[in-house]
Amino acid sequence: MRQRRIPASVILGRALRLRCPRCGDGHLYEGLAKMYERCSSCQLKYERAPGYFLGSTYINYALTALVITVLFIVLRFKVEVARETLLWPMLALCLLLPVLLFRHARSLWLAMDSYFDAEGFRSDPDGTVPPGQPAGLGVLTESGAHPLPDTHSGEHGHQA
Ligand SMILES: [Zn+2]
């Protein structure tokens, strides 16, 4: 009876192309950093709740840390660049990368949410989070029921 979930690889592909996670047609951005409010194809509201994209900063941080760490290890120990030579370019990269990754961090956040809250994205015509629900990866349901207790904290709904 349950509809099939969109495969993670498809959702990831859509995220990397900065497309709507639900239909894959609509663009997420209308300019460099300005997001469309809704998908032009399926009308999914991208910012599902106020502050929804705050979680994307974790993705941005993780990607930045990963790139910096790998790059440092390769340049320092494989290419054998001196630490003093690496310091300033690496610091500059620490500031630049989050700006460069901003769009994809939001896109990946939306993609993750659409994967883990597949039912919410499928059943809601515009994909908004119901009132009282935590925004972003907080609603993990299999049947459309909402198993979260009515608490003031959004910390309890995350996947274990
Ligand atoms: Zn769409």
Q: How confident is the model at residue 98 (pLDDT cuts 50, 70, 90)?
A: very high
What is the tens place of the pLDDT at every residue in 119-142?
888 877 666 666 666 666 654 444
**Domain residue limits, the chain:** 8-142
The pair of structure tokens assigned to 113 is 């949410």
28 CA distance to ligand 1 middle (Å): 9
78 CA distance to ligand 1 middle (Å): 44
Output the pLDDT for position 112.
95
132 CA distance to ligand 1 middle (Å): 24
Output the pLDDT for position 121.
85
pTM of the model: 0.75
- Average pLDDT on 60-71 reads 96
- Say how far apart CA 100 and CA 86 lie, in whole Å: 20
CA angle 31, 33, 37 (to 5 degrees): 80
Q: Is the pLDDT of residue 2 over 70?
A: no
Q: Is the pLDDT of residue 148 over 60?
A: no
- Say how far apart CA 17 and CA 102 lie, in whole Å: 14
CB atoms within 10 A of CB 10: 14
**Average per-residue pLDDT for the chain:** 84
45 CA distance to ligand 1 middle (Å): 9
90 CA distance to ligand 1 middle (Å): 38
Output the pLDDT for position 122.
83
Chain-centroid distance, C-alpha 108: 3
| Residue 99 vs residue 160, higher pLDDT | 99
Instruction: Read off the DSSP letter of residue 55.
Output: G
23 CA distance to ligand 1 middle (Å): 4
53 CA distance to ligand 1 middle (Å): 17
16 close to 112: Cβ distance less than 8 angstroms: no
54 CA distance to ligand 1 middle (Å): 21
Q: What is residue 91's three-state secondary structure?
A: helix
- Residue given tokens 């409010």 in the structure block: 37
Output the pLDDT for position 65.
96
Q: What is residue 35's three-state secondary structure?
A: strand
31 CA distance to ligand 1 middle (Å): 18
